[in-house]
Structure formats: C-alpha cells, structure tokens
Amino acid sequence: MATAVVARPVARPQARARDEEVLVWPDLVFVEFIAALLFTITLFILSVVINAPLLDQANADVTPNPSKAPWYLLNLQELLLHMNAAMAGIIVPTVWLIILGAFPYFDRDTDGQGAWFGTEGAVRLTVVSGIVGFVGTWALILWDSGKVAFFLNDWFGLSGGDTMRFLENVRSMQSQLPWPEWASKITYLPFNLKLLDGTGSGGPTTFQHLDFPGWLVEQGIPTALLVGLPSLMIYTLWRMGWVVNRRDALLALFSGFVASYGVLTLCGTAFRGQGQELVFPWELKVSEGIPGQEAGH
Amino acid sequence: MAAEPTAPRGGRIERARQIESRKLARRSFLRVSAFAGLSLFVGSMTAGFLGFFNRLKPVGFGGVVTVAASRVPAPGAEPVRISEAKAWVVNLSGPEGDVLGVGGTGGIMALYWKCPHLGCSVPWNPGFNGAAVNFPGVVGWFRCPCHGSTYSRAGIRVFGPAPRPMDTMAITVNGDGSISVNTGAITSGGTDNPLRAVSYNG
C-alpha cells in the first residue's frame, strides 16, 4: 500500500483535575445511604401514625361512599365529575400530553435553554398564571357543584328566581332551560340512515340523533372552557406586554396547568365527601356502603 | 432336549406373559383414566360455559325477582333496596320525584341501581338537600358515590355527569300485593321515568 498516511496530532483529552471528580465511594454511596435511612425512618413513623386499614372483604353489591381512585388519579376523577366520561378520562389527558410533547417544537429558540425563569418577566408570569389557574379552577369547581348559587342564596339572600336557575351549574343548563323538543333529537345523518342506532339509548349522541342540550353540557361547554380560558389568559398577558415570546406563553400555560392539576388533585382527595359532595377535609367520612349504614346527614 | 423342559419353562413364560399383560393393563388403565379425567375436566368447563347462554330461565338477577308485599314501601316512604334484583323499589306518592314536571301521578317503580354513567351502585341519600337552589324543598336524592350524579326519587338525573336518568325495570303487581321485578327487562332511563310508575294498592 502506497497510500501515505498523514499522522495528525490527535487532541488528547486532558486529565480531569482531581478536585472536579466525585468518587462513587464514599461521596455518592454515603449520601445515598443517608437518604435511604431518612426515607426508612419517615415511612416507619408514617406507618405508625397514620392508620391505613384493609377493611373487609369486598362486596360486589355495595359500593363504598365516596368511591375514589388512588390519590394520583383523583385529578382525573375530579374532571369526570364535570364532563363527558370519554373526554375527561381519555381525550383531555391524551391531547394535553401531545401538547406537552410539542412544547419544544413550538418554542425552538435555543437562547437561554435550560435556565430557570430565563426570560425577563418569567417569575411574575409564573406567579400570576399559577394564581389564575388556582383561583380559576376552584371557581369552576364551586360553580359546577352548585355552591356559588347556594352561597349567594344562603349568605346574601340572593336568588335569580326561576329564570336564572339554569345558571346554577353546568347540568342545569340542560334541565332548567325550555329547550324545544326537537333540540334533543337533531337528525344529522341524511336519508334517515341508521348506523348502530338500534336502541336509541346511547349517550348525548346516538349515531343518528344529536341531543344538543346534552352535548352542550357534557362536551361543548367543557371544551370551550378548557381551550378558551387558557387562551384568554395568555392573550391578556400578551396585551399587557408580559408575554413577549413563545417561551413566555408556554411558561404561563404550564404554570397555569400545574396549579389547576394541583387543585384538581387536592379537591378530589381532600374535599370530596359522600356522593362526591364538596365538604371540608375534617368533615370527610367514608362509609363502606353497607345497607343500613349509609350515612345520611 | 428341546421337549423336556417345556413344561416348567412354559410355566415361566406363562407367568411372564401374565406379568407382562398385567403391566399392559396398568398402562392402559393409566391412559384411560388420564383421558377420562381430561374429558371430565373439559366437559365440566364446557357445561359451565354453556350455562352462561341459558337465557331461558335465569334465576336471581337477570330473571324475575318477586318482592314480598312486606318489603314494598308505602307511598312516599324511603326507597327500599332489593339486593337480589340490584334495584331500588320506590313508591311515589303523587308527583313526587317528578322534578322536571312531566306529569307523573305516582305509583311504584323499580330503578336499576347501576349508575348509567360508569356503573357504580347508586345509594339512596335520605337527608341530602344539596339541590336546594333548583329544587327547593326536595330532600332525599339518589347520589352516586363515584362521580356525584344526582337523581330524584323517580331516578330523574338533575345533576352530574351521568348521560341520562336511572334505568328502570319492568314490574308487575301480583294479587297478593307482592311485585315481580323483571330484572331482564331494563329500559334506559329517560325524562319520562315518572310516567313508567305502576299504580299499586297493596
């Protein structure tokens, strides 16, 4: 082989200085050992202090009241109280996960990557959108559980009378408005086609007919609020000049989400009593649902 | 030389043959019993499986459940839980439970206790008046423990995520005052629930 090989000087990696290195033993393992000890002690104390009984063998005939999912799913269960089951359980989480995954494709600015609160108004944006998410979610929960109307009536003697009853909660827009007969049976397949509509006993939509009030209450209004309120917040912050680039918008959106998510989890865990009625945490009682022992009030 | 020892040798051969045939008998016994056991097992599984398809005379839930007159509530009394029918038997007094005003005139009805939302069994909550703003004065509602769907005494959904009122079961009143709840004939709930009540004079 007559190929001339030109030897290039290879940049040899510099040996790291000794004081930049951390050894597995003792530096890392010792810290891990301390952490493991702390967790063990904490769990031990918690298991002594907090009672977590296994209860009786399950009885398929009775449902505990309230019936709750594990705490980390109670945010979704809280959503289920307010909208169509497929939306709350599947569509909203899926769409939100896709949106979360799309964040880096929407904000492609590499400036200030990896820095916490990297933009000028970042801290106040986080605080304000967090507060908006917190207060807004509580307000929506209180409204949809009828508590707003109840307190207006109970504390201030305010009552909208019969004409305003439809505003008590979302569902009352279906039951308290004089919807005409045809509104709950809007045919949207032409030629009287019948697809999977043997029983006519589906949800808000059977395949042939749309129950418009049902659709409005279970899907229309929740979708409008889920999309509209965050958009409105970001638009307002943009008009105020706080949101100036895409990262700001995403920061506001994400902070608002974290606050709402926390409120939903907290509300579902600590504020939902029997029949998923809103109660204070210290009033929360669980009945095993045994006949004759269901607690009334 | 070949003929003389035939008798004793024949006896040994015969014994050996008998032993051999006993061995064979044991092997076939094992084979037969193994296959018999297997077919017994598969057969009982199949019979049990086919039992699911017996829709001719179901007993308990799925069939007709008779509720004795003593268990039928008086008009206006609290609904009674009929476990074997998975139903609440309600005796409406007049327009009771007809919270949306469709013209119910009272009577007896059986409400399937499975929530039409996601299927939890719905308990009766006699003291609940959380619908006080929209339905003042109405105390006592069915309220689902899982997602809070709230139904009137006639199963009318007034609140919560359930897509429709509680489902009803066909009932007939017998001569002795007992009622027969046909748990196989479940009709999807509708706002006309109060009109499905059957008059009862037991």
CATH number at residue B140: 2.102.10.10
pLDDT of residue A4: 56
Q: Compare A79 and A11 and report the one with higher pLDDT.
A: A79
Q: Which amino acid is at A112?
A: G
The reply to whether B190 and B96 lie within a common domain is yes
**Domain closes at, from B30, B54, B78:** B54
Domain annotation covers residue B143: yes
The reply to whether B88 and B187 lie within a common domain is yes
The reply to whether B37 and B97 lie within a common domain is no
Domain annotation covers residue B59: no
pLDDT of residue A167: 84
The reply to whether B76 and B153 lie within a common domain is yes
Is the CB of B128 less than 8 angstroms away from the CB of A297?
yes
The reply to whether B98 and B35 lie within a common domain is no
pLDDT of residue A8: 64
Is the CB of A77 less than 8 angstroms away from the CB of B147?
yes
Domain annotation covers residue B202: no
pLDDT of residue A16: 64
pLDDT tens profile A34-84: 999 999 999 999 999 988 877 777 777 778 888 889 999 999 999 999 988
User: Is ipTM > 0.95 here?
Assistant: no
Domain annotation covers residue B166: yes
pLDDT of residue B59: 72
Percentage of residues in chain B having pLDDT higher than 70: 92
What is the mean pLDDT of the segment spanning B44-65? 81
**Where in the sequence is the domain holding B188, given as residue range(s)?**
64-196
pLDDT of residue B55: 64
Q: Compare A6 and A120 and report the one with higher pLDDT.
A: A120
The reply to whether B32 and B75 lie within a common domain is no
Sequence-ordered strand ranges (E) for A194-289: 209-210
What is the mean pLDDT of the segment spanning A150-165? 80
Percentage of residues in chain A having pLDDT higher than 70: 84
Question: How many domains are contained in chain B?
Answer: 2
CB-nearest partner of B127 from A199, A202, A296 = A296
Asked if A206 and A67 count as a contact pair (C-beta separation under 8 A), the reply is: no
**Domain closes at, from B13, B28, B54:** B54
Whole-angstrom Cα distance, residue B22 to residue A71? 68
The reply to whether B165 and B81 lie within a common domain is yes
All residues of chain A having their beta carbon less than 8 Å from the beta carbon of residue B150 are: 275
The reply to whether B72 and B165 lie within a common domain is yes
The reply to whether B129 and B172 lie within a common domain is yes
Alpha carbon of A81: minimum distance to chain B alpha carbons (Å): 5
- Both structure tokens of A135: 């207060």
Whole-angstrom Cα distance, residue A150 to residue A204? 28
Is the CB of B150 less than 8 angstroms away from the CB of A201?
no
Whole-angstrom Cα distance, residue B99 to residue B166? 14
The reply to whether B49 and B81 lie within a common domain is no
The reply to whether B100 and B70 lie within a common domain is yes
Q: At residue A107, does pLDDT exceed 70? A: yes
B122: closest chain A residue by CA = A63
Asked if A274 and B123 count as a contact pair (C-beta separation under 8 A), the reply is: no
Is the CB of B146 less than 8 angstroms away from the CB of A63?
yes
Question: DSSP class of residue A278?
Answer: B
Domain annotation covers residue B19: yes
The reply to whether B18 and B77 lie within a common domain is no
